[in-house]
Chains A and B, each alone.
Chain A
Amino acid sequence: MADNVGKARRSEEGQCDAEKGGAGSGASVEQGQVLFPPSFSVSEIKNKQRRHFMFLRWKQQQRKEKLAIKKKRKKEREALGDQAPPKPVPKTIENQRVYDETAVDPNDEEVALDEATDEFAPYFNRQTVPKILITTSDRPRGRTVRFCEQLSKCIPNSHVYYRRGLALKRIIPQCISRDFTDLIVVNEDRKIPNGLVLSHLPDGPTAHFRMSSVRLRKEIKRKGKTPTEHQPEVILNNFTTRLGHSIGRMFASLFPHDPQFVGRQVATFHNQRDYIFFRFHRYIFKNERKVAIQELGPRFTLKLRSLQKGTFDSKFGEYEWIHKRHEMDTSRRKFHL
């Protein structure tokens, strides 16, 4: 009897010890049961070198296990042959996107007519030829100046002008009288181009973008030779919603119709998660199957901040869409373009 009691007491003590050690043995030890030895955890090792060594070993082991599972699965698939179940599609933020009711249905009559009569209609009906003015914020520094030059090499029939401290609202009437169809203003902050205002003339709309990751031609690895004067092809990717359509049409109207395929140059506006990536490439068909591309630069990323009806008027203009961070960015899976 006495022995029994003693054991029980000891076991209680043991339990206390286990708890104090914080070993996290998991299984709750009840009285009178056999005790498991306290579990081992790498993070408890006091010696740093030893801990590091043990951690590396643990990591290796994990990797081995993972690879073994992968191999096994592959073998199973091979054994099944054609009857193997299709591979599961990985979950990404894009394919888990929140449903957007403004997504444009190509068969929608109303939207089609709305687009057929909007401000870009004269361009798409081939009544106007794009003529673009590129300027900057006041007193641009080296990088922005070079960026504008390179941008004007990508966009045919574009002219870079020095801003000369003029107000945009005074520039716009002059542009209209000289038949410019678009105005691009690159904003600069501490020698880094960080904003882009794209205004369609003569009567809007005006889009304001945040610009980031600007890489000039010189900074791109494995770049091609300088672009030629040919009119490039334009690719617009993933502009699906009604707002996206407007923005896409805006970009499309920067470039002239009828690309010269001899030049083999492509300008791409790729929208992914509301970020618009601009790339400028030259391609070549190596044989019937293979195509090679070569980047010509510059490259940059845009994010839409607002779309305003009419030409630039940030004070009294009416906004068609504004990005309100605290109201709109509630879900990571909600996209507007």
Chain B
Amino acid sequence: MASPARGCHVWVGSETGILKGINLQKKQATNYKLGDTVLNRHEAVTAMCWGDPYESEIFVGCFDGSVKLFSTEKGKFTESRDCREGEGPFCGLAVLDSSLITCVQSGLLKVWRDTSSENVEIQVGAGVCRMRQNPEQLHRVATGGKENCLKVWDLHQPQEPIFRAKNLRHDWLDLRVPVWDRDMQFLPGSEKIVTCTGHHQVRLYDPSSPQRRPVLEATFGEYPLTALSLTSDGNAVVVGSSHGDVAVIDLRQGRLVKCLKGLAGSVRAIQCHPVLPLVASCGLDRFLRVHNLHHKRLEHKVYLKSRLNCLLLTSREKWEDEGFDSSADLQSDVKEEEEDDEIWNSMEVVATKRKAELQPCTESDLQKDKRLKKQKKLKKAKS
């Protein structure tokens, strides 16, 4: 069987340089680090991404500019590569056909090819806060940061960005609106990009339309928004602020849908499950929290001892299953389930609120019910 690391649901990178795998079903957290080196802050994890679509490898970007490869199959670090170029910590990692894309704070975006020596280098401008890859077109990445407006780059044509956002019009005092994109994500099925800013705005850009300014803007709270993640249906976005407020904002109307409670400190990373109504968040309060998006309920809360910088949530949906024999098996499973879930999703829209609440009743619950009924029958028989 595969190592216990395969069964982990959430991977979290901490400020002390430890990669933590958390199995929420067994309520176990395991620490992984390279070798027996003493912890130090130069190895703080600043960015993470999956190494392949089967989620058997994780690239971990450290503060000192090294990128490590962690194998979830073997449960250990297999490779370490020095990607020190430019200044500042990594603000994004991505994988493009077995080559690695890194982006550092000073604005150097680089594609590291293994064989050919010609690495693509792009200067995206200083003060970058986040770089994200388009999950559907892997050669497209978006960057943005402080006084560095949103840009979308095509890595096949690295000279010019294919989309460069335009700042908003001056405000009612005719003053320039400051730019500070903290996080962004591509909407699936379209070219749209959603960003959240340090000035508590959520903006939606549409590169396919002639308008370079945001097509939608919503504000939430009064503190910087630090992280965001799209929900499974792509109609809403979950944002987190530096005060630990997490909210779900509808992207069609720009309205606040609901708030998730329980966080005590600044949010550093949020990720939604691609199918299940779950959202995982972590931050400076040293807790990993998993909320249910339907009920707003806190499902899991794990104390992980150090400040957490980034997180990856598995996309597999059978949480109860422990190990998988082969990744191919998993893939086919995923496909089937996705079709099913599409049906379910379409039903949810129609169903009333009560029905939606009833729906996630799991198998174990049903079994419990059956058991209870049996017991009742037995009692009757006795009497």
Q: Please report A residues at the B interface, Cβ cutoff 8 Å.
A: 101-102, 108, 110-111, 113-114, 117, 242, 309, 315-322, 324, 327-328
Q: Are A108 and B305 in contact (CB under 8 A)?
A: yes
Contacts of B243 in A (CB 8 A): 319, 322
Instruction: For B284, give its contact among A114, A117, A318, A324 (CB under 8 Å).
Output: A318
Contacts of A317 in B (CB 8 A): 242
Contacts A316-B242, A318-B226; A328 near B284 (Cβ below 8 A): no
Can you give 27 contacting A-B residue pairs, CB < 8 Å? Answer: A101-B303, A102-B303, A110-B16, A110-B31, A110-B306, A111-B306, A113-B16, A114-B39, A114-B305, A117-B16, A117-B39, A117-B41, A309-B284, A315-B223, A316-B198, A316-B242, A318-B266, A318-B284, A319-B242, A319-B266, A320-B284, A320-B307, A321-B285, A322-B264, A322-B265, A324-B244, A324-B264
CA distance A127 to B301 in the complex (A): 38
CA distance A92 to B258 in the complex (A): 38
In order of increasing CB-CB distance, the 10 nearest A-B pairs are A318-B266, A113-B39, A320-B284, A101-B303, A318-B242, A320-B265, A110-B305, A114-B306, A321-B264, A321-B265
User: Which residue of the partner chain A has the closest CB to B287?
Assistant: A102
Contacts of B224 in A (CB 8 A): 316
User: Which residue of the partner chain A has the closest CB to B180?
Assistant: A316
Bitwise, B17-40 to A at CB < 8 A (1) or not (0) is 010000000000001000000111
Instruction: For A111, give its contact among B31, B198, B305 (CB under 8 Å).
Output: B305
CA distance A321 to B305 in the complex (A): 14
User: Which residue of the partner chain A has the closest CB to B223?
Assistant: A315
Q: With both chains docked as a complex, state the minimum distance between the C-beta of B147 and any C-beta of chain A, in angstroms.
A: 14
Tell me if B360 is interfacial: C-beta within 8 Å of chain A: no
Q: Are B16 and A114 in contact (CB under 8 A)?
A: yes
Most central of A110, A316, A317, A327 by chain B CB within 10 Å: A110
8 new A-B contacts at CB < 8 Å, known A102-B286, A114-B39, A242-B305 = A110-B18, A113-B38, A113-B39, A114-B305, A242-B286, A316-B224, A319-B284, A321-B265
Tell me if B262 is interfacial: C-beta within 8 Å of chain A: yes
Q: With both chains docked as a complex, state the minimum distance between the C-beta of A313 and any C-beta of chain B, in angstroms.
A: 10
User: Which residue of the partner chain A has the closest CB to B301?
Assistant: A101
Q: With both chains docked as a complex, state the minimum distance between the C-beta of B260 and any C-beta of chain A, in angstroms.
A: 11
Q: With both chains docked as a complex, state the minimum distance between the C-beta of B222 and any C-beta of chain A, in angstroms.
A: 9
Most central of A117, A319, A321 by chain B CB within 10 Å: A319
Tell me if B261 is interfacial: C-beta within 8 Å of chain A: yes
User: Which residue of the partner chain A has the closest CB to B199?
Assistant: A316
Categorize the interface residue count of chain B: 20 to 34
CA distance A322 to B263 in the complex (A): 9
Bitwise, B127-164 to A at CB < 8 A (1) or not (0) is 00000000000000000000000000000000000000
CA distance A227 to B243 in the complex (A): 41
Residues 265-310 (chain B) with a chain A CB within 8 angstroms? 265-266, 284-286, 303, 305-307
Bitwise, B35-61 to A at CB < 8 A (1) or not (0) is 000111100000000000000000000
Bitwise, B217-234 to A at CB < 8 A (1) or not (0) is 000000110100000000
Contacts of A101 in B (CB 8 A): 303
CA distance A318 to B265 in the complex (A): 8
Contacts of B261 in A (CB 8 A): 327
Contacts of B306 in A (CB 8 A): 110-111, 114
CA distance A73 to B224 in the complex (A): 63
Q: With both chains docked as a complex, state the minimum distance between the C-beta of A161 and any C-beta of chain B, in angstroms.
A: 30
Q: With both chains docked as a complex, state the minimum distance between the C-beta of B281 and any C-beta of chain A, in angstroms.
A: 14
Contacts of B266 in A (CB 8 A): 309, 318-320
CA distance A327 to B16 in the complex (A): 29
Q: With both chains docked as a complex, state the minimum distance between the C-beta of B96 and any C-beta of chain A, in angstroms.
A: 31
Q: Are B305 and A328 in contact (CB under 8 A)?
A: no
CA distance A324 to B303 in the complex (A): 19
Instruction: For B39, give its contact among A110, A320, A321, A328 (CB under 8 Å).
Output: A110
User: Which residue of the partner chain A has the closest CB to B222?
Assistant: A315
Bitwise, B289-333 to A at CB < 8 A (1) or not (0) is 000000000000001011100000000000000000000000000
CA distance A309 to B286 in the complex (A): 13
Contacts of A316 in B (CB 8 A): 198, 224, 242
Q: With both chains docked as a complex, state the minimum distance between the C-beta of B81 and any C-beta of chain A, in angstroms.
A: 25
CA distance A35 to B242 in the complex (A): 72
Residues 357-371 (chain B) with a chain A CB within 8 angstroms? none
Q: With both chains docked as a complex, state the minimum distance between the C-beta of A118 and any C-beta of chain B, in angstroms.
A: 9
Contacts A316-B242, A319-B244; A328 near B264 (Cβ below 8 A): yes
Q: With both chains docked as a complex, state the minimum distance between the C-beta of B256 and any C-beta of chain A, in angstroms.
A: 17
Contacts of B307 in A (CB 8 A): 320
CA distance A242 to B307 in the complex (A): 11
Contacts of A324 in B (CB 8 A): 244, 264
CA distance A79 to B298 in the complex (A): 55
CA distance A318 to B242 in the complex (A): 5
User: Which residue of the partner chain A has the closest CB to B266?
Assistant: A318
Contacts of B18 in A (CB 8 A): 110
Q: Are B244 and A322 in contact (CB under 8 A)?
A: yes
CA distance A321 to B307 in the complex (A): 11
Q: With both chains docked as a complex, state the minimum distance between the C-beta of A319 and any C-beta of chain B, in angstroms.
A: 5
Contacts of A328 in B (CB 8 A): 264
Most central of B16, B41, B264, B303 by chain A CB within 10 Å: B264
CA distance A322 to B226 in the complex (A): 16
Q: With both chains docked as a complex, state the minimum distance between the C-beta of A33 and any C-beta of chain B, in angstroms.
A: 36
Q: With both chains docked as a complex, state the minimum distance between the C-beta of B184 and any C-beta of chain A, in angstroms.
A: 19
Contacts of A117 in B (CB 8 A): 16, 39-41
Q: With both chains docked as a complex, state the minimum distance between the C-beta of A314 and any C-beta of chain B, in angstroms.
A: 9
Contacts of B262 in A (CB 8 A): 327
